[in-house]
Structure 1
Amino acid sequence: MQKVSFKNRTWDVAGHLYFPENFDETKQYPAIVCVHPGSSVKEQTAGFYASQLAQNGFITLAFDASFQGESGGEPRFLEDPTTRVEDIRCAIDYLTTLSFVDNDRIGAMGVCAGGGYAANAAISEKRIKAIGTVIGTNPSRAFREANPVETLNAVAQQRTAEANGAEKLINNWIPNSKEEAQQLGVQEMDLLEAIDYYRTPRGQHPNSCNQLLFTSMSNLIMFDAFHLAEYFLTQPLLVIVGDKVGGFGSYRDGFDLYNKAASTNKKIHIVQGASHYDLYDQPQATQNALEQLVPFFQEHL
């Protein structure tokens, strides 16, 4: 693995570039951009999939979203879907500058919200020749289903307050512990498993600090990751979901993307007995996903 950076507009995006075993810089390899979930960083599940795919002959690139992790951009902790998609385009720009990457064999994959962003990029970014999602979500869908007008009104008030000197409002993505979740009366499976992944040694990383700029919510509510997929998502598509269905909606979103995509070469794979967060890092579930991803990308890149 090599630390790299590339530009999105005026700031640097921090990435990790992974290489196959016996890498030969005089040869050209297929490459895959790996996109992390919301609140995540490159060292977590996106980096895991990037490292595993690299072991199977691909150059892979995982990176921190703009405004987050080790990447630049202001304001910090902004989750801006449009910029998240532009990050993917910029990652592809960077890959095309590498002599050992075959520009005609670049793919993309993403986990959770990263899957939605990767799919959205592929709708218009035809340098992406194949797209895979692992428990991919349409990031806006959940927010649109939870009092969206009330949230938009709150964002409007907060922006006015900040324009007049108030501190930026930064919330947690999830409770910081299961005890905190219990105090809040939270019992939903996906949210509890998110805490177990992100806020315990299982998957915790200091750069994944569980902070979300509240004014991001208007961007998230209004963004539809699958918009126009029925017309323009024509590349080979692999959608992977788990059959233990939780509140984050990746099972439903996976079928939505699969059914909507214009691709004539598409497949949906259900990992039996796997929850959303099992497919982040648990060996049996992730191995099952990789057994689908590897031959899919080998065939189409």
Structure 2
Amino acid sequence: MSKLIRHTALAALLGASGAELMAADYKKNPYTLAYEGAITRNEPRKVNIHPVTYKLNGLDISANVYTPANFDPKAKHPTVVVAHPNGGVKEQVAGLYAQRLAELGYVTITADAAYQGASGGQPRSVDKPANRIEDIHGMADFISQYSGADSTRLGLLGICGGGGYSLAAAETDKRFKSVATVSMFNSGRVRRNGYVDSQLDTVQQRLQQASAARAQEAAGGAVMYSGDANLSDEQIAKLPFDLYRQGYEYYWKTHAHPNSTFKYTTSSLIDLMRFDATNQIDLIQQPLLMIAGTKADSLYMTEDAFAKATGAKDKELFKLEGATHIETYWVPKYMAAATAKLDTFFGRTL
């Protein structure tokens, strides 16, 4: 059993559970990391974090590179690109998975999406699939040139919305030798059909709103936003889905970060609503691992994508028994199981 698994298993035994949300205060971390057990300083012979900035299509991209305890910049280490959830930033769950993989010997990188987080781009919170997919290609560009990273052993991990975009990126970017997702979220399907396909009757109405928002922007008017809400505890408790209830808890309270937001430009829906993470998914021929909780109300998206990924002959759907979508972001026992599975997968395929 690795040190990581021992550590997280111990945390679970000490009482961490899905019912106990632990606070992770970004203000107390010098790198503003908002997850438990985050690096607070770089020390020799330990996992280190390296904030970096690079250009992608003229924009400054803000990223964190994690290097393992045995890191030798003159050697070649297996490397994993980590894509963050919708509305998330590199300091939250993407950073947690990146650090955990670094503890197992991988060089990892996670970057804020263009127009989001600490990365550049105006207007803020543009959320177009083409941009998010290009962000993943851009992380691969940068980390492939990083001293000590092995570009011939490059893996891809996408979480939530980053999972859907990772599938799309891996369809054509064969630098990724294998691809994994955790709690995959098909952003196009949800923006088009509603969560659990609950808004099928308002597709055209919402497309009209998106078109009007784009016209307003083009005319020099105010940028319109969707998805932004300031809900009370009572309102959150009445939300119809676990993902939304627990998502508000995670992003607004226990693991909040000032760069993280649910909002996105309404005009982005023009692009989002014609996107689907499973379009051309048969082009993925790399080994594929998809991880999701058995109690996640988003599980249907992972199961749908997995079934359609007919080009991947080496593929596995790994379910975390009892986990909801958001619980795969932070609950120690689910993190331990997911990370152990990712280590086995990347260890075999990279």
Whether the 8 Å contact between 1:6 and 1:91 is mirrored in structure 2 is: no
* One-letter code aligned to 1:258: F
Partner residue, 1:46: 94
Instruction: State the TM-score, normalizing by the size of structure 1.
Output: 0.94
Matches within 5 A, 1:130-141: 130-141=178-189
Matches within 5 A, 1:1-301: 1-145=49-193, 146=199, 147-173=202-228, 175-181=230-236, 186-200=239-253, 202-230=254-282, 232-246=283-297, 249=298, 251-261=299-309, 262-301=311-350
Q: Distance in 2 between matches of 1:173 and 1:108?
A: 30
- Pairwise CA distance, 1:286: 1.2
RMSD: 1.4
Whether the 8 Å contact between 2:168 and 2:278 is mirrored in structure 1 is: yes
Q: Distance in 2 between matches of 1:209 and 1:252?
A: 25
Equivalent pairs: percent with the same residue?
A: 33
**1:209-264 deviation line (CA, Å, top 9, x unaligned):** 3321111111111111121112x100000000101132xx2x11111221111111
- Pairwise CA distance, 1:181: 3.4
Q: Distance in 2 between matches of 1:221 and 1:274?
A: 28
Partner SS, residue 223 of structure 2: coil
- Pairwise CA distance, 1:175: 4.7
Larger CA deviation: 156-165 vs 84-93: 156-165
Instruction: State the TM-score, normalizing by the size of structure 2.
Output: 0.81
Larger CA deviation: 61-70 vs 286-295: 286-295
Q: Distance in 2 between matches of 1:179 and 1:97?
A: 49
Q: Distance in 2 between matches of 1:210 and 1:297?
A: 31
**1:167-217 deviation line (CA, Å, top 9, x unaligned):** 1112335654433435xx5232211000110010x1101111332111111
Whether the 8 Å contact between 1:155 and 1:215 is mirrored in structure 2 is: yes
- Pairwise CA distance, 1:290: 0.9
Cα separation, partners in 2 of 1:127 and 1:177, compared to 1, 3 Å: farther
Q: Distance in 1 between matches of 2:142 and 2:152?
A: 14
Partner SS, residue 179 of structure 2: strand
Unaligned stretches of 5+ residues in structure 2: 1-48, 194-198
Stretches (4+) displaced over 6 A: none
Whether the 8 Å contact between 2:79 and 2:107 is mirrored in structure 1 is: yes
Cα separation, partners in 2 of 1:134 and 1:173, compared to 1, 3 Å: farther
Whether the 8 Å contact between 2:186 and 2:276 is mirrored in structure 1 is: yes
Partner SS, residue 57 of structure 1: coil
- Pairwise CA distance, 1:31: 0.6
- Pairwise CA distance, 1:163: 2.8
Whether the 8 Å contact between 2:51 and 2:62 is mirrored in structure 1 is: yes
Q: Distance in 1 between matches of 2:58 and 2:185?
A: 29
Whether the 8 Å contact between 2:86 and 2:262 is mirrored in structure 1 is: no
